[in-house]
Every structure is written in C-alpha cells, then in structure tokens.
Amino acid sequence: MNKQYFGTDGIRGRVGDALINPDFCLRLGWSAGRTLAAEGRRPLVILGKDTRNSGYMLESALEAGFSAAGVDVALLGPIPTPAVAYLTRTMRADLGVVVTASHNPFDDNGVKFFDGEANKLSDSMELSIESELDTALSSISASELGQVFRVDDARGRYVEFCKRTIDTKMRFDGLHVVVDCANGAGYAVAPRVFRELGADVVAISVNPDGSNINRNCGSTHPEFLGEKVVELSADVGIALDGDADRVIMIDSEGEIVDGDELIYVIALSMQMRGRLSGGVVGTEMSNGGLHAAFKDLGIPFERASVGDRHVVELLRDRGWELGGESSGHIVCLNWANTGDGIVSALQVLSEMVKQDRSLADLKSGMTKLPQELINVHVEDPEAALTHANVVHAVSEVEQRLGNDGRVLVRASGTEPLLRVMVEGGSYTDVRRYVEKIANVASTLGNNRART
C-alpha cells in the first residue's frame, strides 16, 4: 500500500494547508493514539516541539487527540528532536512525537514520530495510523481520558546524556567555541552542554521569537557563523538546524566543514582507537572524496538513499555503527538511533582536544571532489523529476561527464524542491553542468536557490 500522508520523515508542509492545521493534527493524534491503544494497555506518548509559533497550536491539537484516545502525554516543550528520541526510550514511552519542520522555513511545520525504541516508525505502523485517519473521530469516556503532564527536567536529562557520549574525564578548557542554534530547539541546551564541559562559549541565534527559526542562521546558512568565528578568532564554530538533529561546523579559518568531512573525522578517530565496527554508510549525496578517503584507510563505505532513516536501515543490515549525510545528519548507533547535532559536534571537539589539532588539520586527509547542489522550487517535484526536458538535460550532462563524474537529481521528501547535484573533475565543469539542468528544471517552477 502507498502512504497518503507520511513522507520520508513524518508529515510536513505549509502551516494552514490540508495537513498542517489543527483539525488534521487532532485527528492524527487520535489516530496514532488509537493505534497504540489497540495493543491492550494504557500508552504513554512523549511530545516535544521546536520554536515555531505554530508549534503551540499543533501541539495542543495532537495533545487533545491523544487524550481523546486514552493516551497519556508527557509534554517536553521546545527541545531538540534527538532529545525526544532519547527520552522516549528512557521514560519507557510507547511513542515519541516532535512538532517540527527541522531545517525548513518558519512558515512550514510538521510532525516526526519515534517508536518506543527511538526508531523512526515502520511502514506498517505509519499505514496503521493512516488507516485510522479514515475513521470518524470520537472520544472515550471522561474517566478514561489520557492524562497530560509536563516533564520539568527534560532538558537537564538530555544535557547529561550528551555529555556521557564522550570520555568522562574529557574537558574543553581553553577551547573557544561559537555555537549557532538557528533560533531553534537547541537554543537552551547546546550552549549549556559545551559550557559545562569547560569550553569558552559564545552563543548566537539563541533568541527565538516564534518566526526567526533558520532565518539566515544555523546549518542552512553557516556562512554567517563563519564570519563570526573569524571575527572572534575562535577555534571552531558549531551550526545546528532548527530541531538540532543536524550539524555543520566551521574551522578556525572560517571554512565550512560539512557532514561528509565530519563523518571522516569521527570515523578516523574511531578507527585509530579500535572502536569502528565494520564500515561507514553515506548517501547518494555523499561526496566522492569521502569514498576515496575511506578506501585509502581500508574502511568499507556504502551509499544509502537520502534520509537518516535509510542510513540507519543500511547500518543495521551491515552490522555497522557510523553513517550520515552531507547535510549534517550523523548517526552512530552507539549513541542513538537518529541524527544528533550536539552529540556529533562533541565527538569532533573531543578529537580536537585529544590530538591537540585544529579542525582544519583533522579533516585534511579528505579531499572533496568538485560538487555543486542547486535546489529548484517546483509545484510537483515527482513530476518534474520525470519530465522529458529534465531527463534529456540529465542524459546530456552524464554523457559529457563520462566516467569522470556523476549526476543526481531527486525530489525532496520534505519541501517542494527538485534537488540537482553534479560532481566532477573541475569546478568550472560542475558549475556549468548543474546550471544547465537547473535552468531546464526552473522552467517548471521558480525561485532557484543554491545550497
């Protein structure tokens, strides 16, 4: 069966559209609650959110739906997505739910789900929830309604978890760090984690007002953090996205260090210390330079489809632990079952301190191949992907690249975008070819944006 509502990472869209509105979220909470209650005991749901003002509206609707289905709800308030996953598992809850649109613009929102083991929901579970959405909404009796309560120490619990992912005696004394929290869910947590470990922290984009999440800040706009790192002569910059499950870093020269390079640094550290189990999983978007660097190190490398869910599936299939995406989703199954921006950054900072080396030095063993990505806004990404003009343009570029490069064009699973990526031997060729395909695709939409 094809899913009608769930995408690659929960349900996401523009606030006020057919899905991201109070009525649908009320029914979604009720349907998910009914699915859980069918297992025969009183379920518990953990519910968090990012800092969008629409989160209050959608949180309330979900809460009402769960309660009407007889499900207890623990409210966390604004908190990173990986914190919800962690608390779902440690509080022995049946479901974790986050109201967030992650790195998307402020006027989007969505709902992410985790099962009781902090995994993304299975296809069968998502289909079960969708089937309940077609049932007329009702409420159980007043005496059986779900109870709602707040978890006052949720952030503190997560801070301690983050710190436990590195050596217990590790401190970052003398390390000058700039943390960009994207005015998002990590604003009250991330600076605290690094400060408690001894770092000299300057925190920026930590004043969410309900509408400034991801706006010219965070992992989608790391160039601004780069300027700040240089201005302050800091050792490193850390850029999270709106729900803090992604991280992009900045070296002391102000250069952007993306997810591929961070995965390289972490994998090399794990290999040196005998902690790397098997190989590493990337995605179709992972830079060819990462594959080449791992080949030199004798580390197996495989590509999954884009999305941390697919990365985790392939890791488990291979019995490996470390994987991630260029965008900064980094997963190590030793720490958690989902991407965690703060935890990933901690592993890199720890290695900088252990070896007394800069981030630029640590990543120097990997040379990225010229690669360019352009996002093209289109009405129907799936239709654009198979449009004859786009298919023809892709074929022409692939013929010109031959064996010296590759092309990847895919429909975004979270936004109305066609993502066009070209990788090759020279920046001049890559830029020309990616522009060629993007120009063709842009006739089907507008507002092209390079990332």
Give the residue numbers spanning the domain of 432: 371-450
Query: Quick one: 199 and 102 in the same domain?
Result: no
pLDDT of residue 445: 55
User: Is the per-residue pLDDT at 451 higher than 60?
Assistant: no
Please, are residues 180 and 239 in contact by the beta-carbon 8 Å criterion? yes
Give dist(CA 155, CA 159) in Å, integer: 6
Element (H, E) at 382: helix 381-385
Rg of the chain on CA atoms, in Å: 22
Residue 4 belongs to some domain of the structure: no
Q: How many domains does the chain have?
A: 3
Using the predicted structure, report yes or no on whether residue 39 has a pLDDT greater than 80. Answer: no
Assess whether 263 and 341 both reside in one domain: yes
- pLDDT tens track for 163-219: 999 999 999 999 999 999 999 999 999 999 999 999 999 999 999 999 999 999 999
Give the span between the Cα atoms of 326 and 318, in whole angstroms. 21
Q: Where are the alpha helices (DSSP H) in 69-153?
A: 81-90, 123-133
* Residue 56 maps to a domain: yes
Query: What's the pLDDT tens digit per position in 15-26?
Result: 999 999 999 999
Which of 108, 132, 152 lies at the terminal end of a domain, its last residue?
152
| Same domain assignment for residues 334 and 399 | no
Positions annotated as catalytic residues are: 102
CA–CA gap between residue 333 and residue 9 (Å, rounded):
18
Per-residue pLDDT, 308:
85
What phi and psi values does residue 44 have, to the nearest 5 degrees?
Answer: -125, 130
Same domain, 217 and 338: yes
Q: Does 450 score more than 60 pLDDT?
A: no
pLDDT in tens, 59-88: 999 999 999 999 999 999 999 999 999 999
Is 377:448 a contact under the CB 8 Å cutoff? yes
Contact 415, 108 (CB under 8 A): yes
Q: What share of the chain in percent tops pLDDT 70?
A: 98
**Are 319 and 325 in contact, with CB atoms under 8 Å apart?**
no
Q: Are residues 332 and 430 in the same domain?
A: no
Q: How far out from the chain centre does Cα 80 lie?
A: 10
Q: Are residues 75 and 164 in the same domain?
A: no
Q: At 425, which CATH number?
A: 3.30.310.50
Determine, yes or no, domain membership for 85. Answer: yes
CB of 45 within 8 A of CB of 55?
no
Give how far Cα 354 sits from Cα of 161, 206, 272, 347, Å. 21, 29, 12, 11
Q: Give the Cα-Cα-Cα angle 237, 412, 108 (nearest 5 degrees).
A: 70
Instruction: Judge whether 40 lies within some domain.
Output: yes
Tell me 370's DSSP state: P
Contact 102, 81 (CB under 8 A): yes
The two structure tokens encoding residue 238: 């850390």
**Residue 434 pLDDT:** 94
Asked, for residue 5, whether it belongs to a domain, the answer is no
Q: Which of 113, 137, 152 is the last residue of a domain?
A: 152
Q: Which helix (H) or strand (E) holds 323?
A: strand 322-324
Question: 403: pLDDT confidence band, cut at 50, 70 and 90?
Answer: confident
pLDDT tens string 106-149: 999 999 999 999 999 999 999 999 999 989 999 999 999 999 99
Q: Name which of 50, 100, 93 is nearest 72 in CA terms.
A: 93
**pLDDT tens track for 93-109:** 999 999 999 999 999 99
- For residue 24, tell me if it sits in a domain: yes
If asked whether residues 130 and 162 sit together in one domain, one would say no
Q: For the chain, give the mean pLDDT.
A: 94
Same domain? For 114 and 223 the reply is no
Examine residue 438 and state whether it is found in any structural domain, yes or no. Answer: yes
Q: Which two tokens stand for residue 283?
A: 């995605």
Task: For residues 261 and 380, give the distance between their C-alpha atoms in angstroms, rounded to a whole number.
Answer: 32
More confident position, 311 or 308: 311
Q: In what order do the strands lie in the sheet with 406-411?
A: 406-411, 417-423, 371-378, 445-450
Examine the pLDDT at 225 and tell me if it is beyond 50: yes
CA 115, 220, 391, 408 dihedral sign is negative
426 and 278 within one domain: no
Whichever domain contains 194, its CATH number is 3.40.120.10
Non-local (6+) Cβ contacts of 128 within 8 A are: 35
Q: What single letter denotes the amino acid at residue 397? A: V
- Using the 3D structure, point to which of 316, 333, 362 is the last residue of a domain: 362
CA–chain centroid gap for 285, Å, is 14
Contact 50, 185 (CB under 8 A): yes
Phi/psi at 436 (5° precision): -60, -50
250 plus 268 within the same structural domain: yes
**pLDDT (mean) for 402-413:** 89
Are 91 and 109 contained in the same domain?
Answer: yes
* 299 and 420 assigned to the same domain: no
Residue 228 lies in a domain: yes
